[in-house]
Amino acid sequence: MRTIKTQADLRCLRKAQVFSEPFTSYLEEEFLQLKEAFDFDGADEQFTLDMYGYMVVLEKGDNLRDLSTVGLRREEGGLLGSLPEFVEKVERNGECWYKVVVIYTNEYGMAFYVPAEAIADDEQVASWLEEQADNQA
């Protein structure tokens, strides 16, 4: 699991080449859109998602049924027990991932990004994501 709260977090991901170029570029676009949405007009380095809810990138091996470290408790089913505001399936350059937005309070929500390859071995999660995305379409 990777968390993105600042521009520096994105630079670290890009430098480490943890994810593919298309996915990394998408995460950077998402971050910039959030910065604009929160009408932040300071220096890029000063912007942080701490007070709004940050971006969480899930990876192969992460337990989507227990994301307690980011507020989705095992006892409640983790991501699968959440009631997402929306789920979007994104396809670019032959890759696929899901964006899942969960609202915690009126002022705080988290965006979860789930690459399809990270959940390829978990039919239940893949099915849940597809169903959620289809319900939004």
Calculate helix-pair angle for 21-37, 7-16, nearest 10 degrees. Answer: 180
> CA 49, CA 42: separation in Å to the nearest integer?
13
Q: b/e for 95-106, b at 16 or more Cβ within 10 A? A: bebbbbebeeee
pTM: 0.92
Length of the chain: 137
Q: 114 and 64 in contact (C-beta within 8 Å)?
A: yes
| Residue-level pLDDT at 38 | 84
Below-50 pLDDT ranges, the chain: none
